[in-house]
């Protein structure tokens, strides 16, 4: 990962990689002119049922403030339910703060074909976006 820390001048690189694995992970570049606070209390815990790496920041430049999230949920997990419950909790915090939120990542869930729990990801993000 050290390679990625020096690629872009005037940017800081943040990353989260799963221990004991050479695949997956999430990384985000933040331009140094922005104030950046890592939101560790937003992170989804990795358990036997949830294999995920995520990063959450509060980014501020002048009077503009955003919550930025990056998520990588490992493929081939049997249930998306626990992941969706944790994501719902995080998005509830974001909604209460009334701070605009941008989330990017790969949740390995086909929203169109997974039924109600698979679709929860899109619905949660849409509900937070419309509540602001």
What is the reported pTM?
0.76
pLDDT tens, 41-77?
Answer: 898 888 877 888 899 999 999 999 999 999 888 877 7
CA angle 2, 55, 92 (to 5 degrees): 175
What is the rounded average pLDDT for all residues in the chain?
77
Q: Where are the domains of the chain?
A: 2-131
pLDDT of residue 114: 45
CATH of domain 2-131: 3.60.10.10
Residue 4 pLDDT exceeds 50: yes
The model's confidence at residue 84, banded by pLDDT at 50, 70 and 90, is: confident
């Amino acid at each position: 990962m050290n390679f990625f820390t020096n690629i872009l001048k005037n940017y800081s690189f943040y990353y989260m990689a799963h221990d004991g694995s050479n695949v997956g992970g999430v990384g985000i570049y933040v331009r140094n002119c922005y104030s950046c606070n890592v939101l560790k209390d937003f992170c989804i815990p990795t358990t036997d049922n949830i294999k995920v790496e995520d990063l959450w920041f509060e980014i501020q430049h002048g009077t503009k403030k955003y919550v930025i999230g990056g998520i990588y949920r490992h493929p081939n997990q049997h249930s998306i339910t626990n992941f969706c419950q944790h994501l719902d909790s995080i998005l509830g915090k974001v909604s209460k703060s009334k701070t605009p939120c941008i989330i990017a990542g790969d949740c390995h869930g086909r929203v169109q074909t997974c039924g109600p729990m698979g679709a929860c990801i899109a619905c949660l993000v849409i509900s937070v976006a419309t509540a602001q």
